[in-house]
Structure 1
């Protein structure tokens, strides 16, 4: 078999991943004679092109029998340079006689306009010739097929331990210089964080991995967090024949116009992705200051930077297209932004995101957690800039807006954001913004299990609302006070506060928050074991939430609907509602209520006697709630885990769970304290420790005496029945028939009541 003429040799190190990209590129070469592989510096265009070229050169049934050729144009600057480079790579190059060949032209961006004319001529001269071009921008020729190469997939924060191409590349290159490199425990977590910080950019990952000869992954990550010098590696750690990341970026920078350079540098103030409107807010300030009539519009500049692969595009589930700057590009261009220009850009950036959330926190929930989540990184950057510039009120406003993300991030995280800004604000009587901060802080403290501190902050918020005449703040403070009272089993106080909030919201025609409060009222009724009233309020809440398109609370109401069904023993209805709710919580990114719903699925499994499934679900719920700091919900789940362990015969494990739950319930939900003490008593009875059981039941009765929780009282009586059964057996063994009969009668009575 005749071999295909070629000058292509695969590099010595292993090609990692890119299976779908190889397939896409191969199909493109079948469908088009001119394929341009575009992407940002360091994304791996050259390596992918060499891999596909080497594969085609080794085809058993050659698709390109006239040859597969690779030519590097990185040093070419003119049309003549392009022709000379190809001629030097391919003896007696004549495009008219090229035949069915594949010509790979690498780094065409260095001579883009001249190369386009040359390539157009070659394609016209040779109808069988195919060209694969790598470039940071397109050629803009008729018939050109674009294939855009993105960075490698990296594991998401919630996908710890997942193997992706980025992880595999790091491991392969690290073991090339340090064969003993292992990815376990902290080192594996460090690599996950490292490849995320490097945006999955192959060249950056390879440069980082090359440091494994002297540094462990945790140390590499620490070095990167302190400085981007790791991305500016010397030739000592770069494979022979490969350019450093600095060199590739410097080449791209040099090809930009002054206006494009200023725009790219100004975009470095963004954190994460940003939309065109945000870019206009930042860049128009810079354009006005520069006074360059040749700059063009902001949209023109963004298009130019996107065409040169220095800005990437990401598409949100909504279909919205946003721009993002890779970390390596940002590290290169940020120092090139002059100090005065940086101050202008940062101020414009902060002002834009402040305008996005609005002056009053009243509408934060309505604007949607999805929008605030999308802009989280930029809002955090704007907050940091506001603090640095001595504008704590702006920072506080942003922190309050970010609090809607607490159920996805963590409640402690949100409280710290508010506390830092609030500590710098000069407080005056009737300051509405401070009132909103106290309301948010009070709600956060409730979830964190600090019940009394929560109520104190909410009372301060209510006082400010009444003093300032802010009815929206007053309604929100009443809602917080109602929820706090319900957690402490102060049912009358809870209902009074929540009903007053509903009246106030009705006077404001605020059906959005009325729907939310209906869900909270239902929760209070549920906690009193008034299931019919709870179900009725949930139906009213769902109607309002669907009308107002409040998907977040609609999902919460569905979870509560499932819990009511579970309490009634309607397992099928409970399953349907909980599954629907769980899907919605995950779609919305609400980890708090995702975990709560998973916990109740565990309770459902427990009711059905599926102990292994119950244990798995409850452990997952407890883990997430612990990470978020939702202490009351975590304690409830720990109690269910204790019950599961008891039924499994793992008494020590059960006691550990019960004690952990008890510690939080004593702080945040005293009615549950009695329930858990009763469970500990039942556990003691099962172990034959009747004295300890009696002591626990006595403490449980005392804890429950002040609260109306019929189901908890029944649970306590059933626990006592275990003691009576054990005591009856002992009395019978001692031939004390009267005592045995009394214990047996009390046990039968408890079971009959159940």
Structure 2
């Protein structure tokens, strides 16, 4: 039995199935026994704990009844009676609290920060809620709950310090804010938060945090801050160099996953790949080729991770397995744009139809490495994109994994071989194939080691499997039921069968196919069903999605978690945090099996329905207090959502885009929205007129944000009054006089439909037209009540505009800072830039050019990272103006000429030129002349 106390009390049997413990007193009894860690608890102690000093008549008999009930659930031998009392039989780390402590100890003992961080994350992932939540009010549990909560906070602090060393200060600055608010007097936690704020460029907030600590300590305890946090405060004031953000590390500008297991036998290959892409080499494109399962992706990630210090603008993994074989170069470019975070700027660019060339222009001055993974089914499209990147981005390097080369100029092909096989019995341990097999075998069968007794069998296994890593991993799990000698004999038997090798495949590809066949045959019918149905997912899935997609008339959804766990144990499914995915070769094999069954259409339909319902569920929650969580969940499902759109019929495609457009808008992916809505509208098949009208209205609002003029109301014909009012607001936003009239219609309609969100949005937008303080304040109050952080950000912007018009600059600055925090929290980087430039402008108006320079430099950095051209221009103009006010004319000229060179509109050009004209004796650039 396994027990969970880090949250509501939970019990699982040896197969991982939940075991229900009925009745509150029986659960309290179990909790009491667990708190004593398997030690004996006297009967009178249990009676006192369970009935809190008011035991029932015949309490001994009543306790024995509860003990019997617990034994019926857990098994008679699990609750033992001894002279000293009752005790729970616990094996090893059967309790999640003990596993939590062991993982934390392992993390603290490790030297590598990335590994420490992962172990701390694994430990914290065991928490499902407050410890012993079922008995939180019971006196007997309070000390243990307090102890575990203190341990949790300590691990959170440990993890935060590790993340700081890795450079993850921007996210920490936001994430720790709520935790500090819950535990305002924890000085160590406060110090980590202060450092994160400072390194994220938010020095004033770091100093303000210290003042809050000082005030609260004085008010509540009558003491002053300790020497460590006081010293940190002084160091921040002096801006001491040791507090500067880590250099050379790029964890905030990369998405490379942390390997779950060490890479074995590939160091020489890693070094060779790095040598081909090093700074002394003219090579900028390396393609790793090889059969599926040979380890191309693992090798590429390891090589890319080691090169992170070379690329100031990041090292990025772009997963292409989920794209269809009919994908165009623009589809590949869109995936790269989304991965790099450049999607936030798509809304501001009117010429985003040629995404390949736009991408080349956007990253033309960047130094970055793109790892394009699993390209074999889209080779021609990837080749076209790669050619553009190599031609237009001098600092751009590409690392590609594919079963075939791109065959374009400048490409260096690196065939990835299988692992080295044992050449001599005496040197078997030096074989990388043997090393991998033994490592995976030890994970499957704790205590397994290579010795003289099994060396010959292990050598035979590795030879039979040609040293193919995936084949070795698949077969290692069989040692749970077979000895190495039996396993080797099984392989001998299989490989002598005349039909084991598929015709037309290379020998090593046949070997892998044989191993997949064997693994498949050893599965139960239900395990096979889950595995083949999982293949419809393009980028892994959550447990909930697996239950929905894999279930059917032949398989109830409640059975899927257990079957999924068995597939993980057999190395056929990989679990990464809360997601499950198939390795490339297993996914391809499972897709073949799915097609053979004739149920492919039904499973695809289940997949489309699952993600349609997910997006519709999420869409309802993107306008409330759970906005950030659902934004992140949809971010994680981006690839699956694209697959669903590609598979959907007209009705489901329209439902999908109608539910996703608000998400795309919040993330700034207007080009993706436009392309997807147009594709859905052109999908063949029947769809309801209402869904088609809604999509057309969303598309009108998207297109008006880049090109076009509003002439009529595209919402005519929509029957849903809430939806119609919201779309009228969306379409009318920022569209001049006609837009204002549509927003006013939206406000009337939202109030008539009692839609408070729609009313809030229309009020805030109306205030931006009229500068009406009352409208802005009422809209802000409604968004505050609804808990919509994006809405609060927009309302704050409107209120700040009113404050500026009223001449209340301190209030305007405070509001812009509030907006900046909200934008950072949601990851809305264009909004972050807008807030920073407004703050820079306010600082200049207040006579603080030095402070304005800091703000504009931060805005310029973020804009450059995100290819947000309008933000770059505004920041350059602001920096030029600040330099002029500091009498630094050369710096002012430099920034203003850069703004002119980047300007794409007459308004931007005029603003930059006007600022240049204020500098005496200016030698104008050709552009400005």
Q: Which runs of 5+ in 1 are unaligned?
A: 1-37, 39-139, 316-321, 667-672, 697-754
Do residues 234 (structure 1) and 489 (structure 2) align? no
Q: Contact 1:406/1:413 (CA < 8 Å) preserved in 2?
A: no
Equivalences for residues 255-654 of structure 1 within 5 A:
256-272=523-539, 274-285=541-552, 288=553, 291=554, 297-306=559-568, 311=573, 322-325=578-581, 327=583, 331=587, 334-335=590-591, 337-339=593-595, 340-358=598-616, 365=623, 368=627, 370-371=629-630, 373-376=632-635, 378=637, 380-388=639-647, 391-403=649-661, 404-408=663-667, 410-424=669-683, 431-448=689-706, 450=707, 453=708, 455=710, 459=712, 462-463=713-714, 465-486=715-736, 490=737, 493-525=738-770, 530=771, 533=772, 535-562=773-800, 564-565=802-803, 572-607=810-845, 608-610=848-850, 611-623=852-864, 626-627=867-868, 636-637=874-875, 639-644=877-882, 646-647=884-885, 648-649=888-889, 650=891, 652-654=893-895
Q: Deviations over 1:205-244 (max 9, x none)?
A: 24776899xxx99999457322665999523598352343
Q: Contact 2:876/2:896 (CA < 8 Å) preserved in 1?
A: no
Structure 2 counterpart SS, 1:343: helix
TM-score scaled by length of structure 1 = 0.55
Q: Contact 1:518/1:541 (CA < 8 Å) preserved in 2?
A: yes
Shift of 1:329: 7.3
Equivalences for residues 29-48 of structure 1 within 5 A:
none
Distance change (3 Å), C-alpha of 1:359 and 1:280: closer
TM-score scaled by length of structure 2 = 0.45
Structure 2 counterpart SS, 1:297: helix
Q: Deviations over 1:492-541 (max 9, x none)?
A: x444332221111100000111112222122223xxxx4xx2x4333211
Q: Contact 1:418/1:437 (CA < 8 Å) preserved in 2?
A: yes
Q: Deviations over 1:407-433 (max 9, x none)?
A: 4253222222222223346899x9333
Shift of 1:350: 0.5
Q: Deviations over 1:387-412 (max 9, x none)?
A: 446x2342233233332233425322
Partner of 1:746: none
Structure 1 CA distance, aligned partners of 2:618 and 2:633?
Answer: 20
Shift of 1:306: 4.8
Structure 1 CA distance, aligned partners of 2:592 and 2:841?
Answer: 58
Structure 1 counterpart SS, 2:435: coil
Distance change (3 Å), C-alpha of 1:330 and 1:575: farther
Q: Which runs of 5+ in 2 are unaligned?
A: 1-15, 17-89, 108-113, 119-165, 169-249, 316-367, 378-401, 405-414, 422-430, 437-467, 478-515
Structure 1 CA distance, aligned partners of 2:167 and 2:295?
Answer: 15
Partner of 1:681: 914
Structure 2 counterpart SS, 1:509: coil
Shift of 1:553: 0.9
Q: Deviations over 1:311-339 (max 9, x none)?
A: 56666xxxxxx432254575465345320
Distance change (3 Å), C-alpha of 1:643 and 1:279: same
Q: Contact 1:384/1:395 (CA < 8 Å) preserved in 2?
A: no
Structure 1 CA distance, aligned partners of 2:793 and 2:777?
Answer: 13
Partner of 2:471: 247
Q: Contact 2:800/2:816 (CA < 8 Å) preserved in 1?
A: yes
Moved more, 262-271 or 225-234: 225-234
Structure 1 counterpart SS, 2:374: helix
Q: 1:180 aligns with which of 252, 275, 282?
A: 275
Q: Deviations over 1:79-134 (max 9, x none)?
A: xxxxxxxxxxxxxxxxxxxxxxxxxxxxxxxxxxxxxxxxxxxxxxxxxxxxxxxx
Q: Contact 1:519/1:557 (CA < 8 Å) preserved in 2?
A: yes
Q: Deviations over 1:123-173 (max 9, x none)?
A: xxxxxxxxxxxxxxxxx9555676789997799998336999769979965
Do residues 159 (structure 1) and 383 (structure 2) align? no
Number of residue pairs matched? Answer: 505
Structure 2 CA distance, aligned partners of 1:409 and 1:245?
Answer: 41
Shift of 1:372: 5.5
Q: Contact 2:729/2:743 (CA < 8 Å) preserved in 1?
A: yes
Distance change (3 Å), C-alpha of 1:173 and 1:401: farther
Structure 1 CA distance, aligned partners of 2:285 and 2:813?
Answer: 39
Q: Deviations over 1:356-380 (max 9, x none)?
A: 3349988875694743541456465
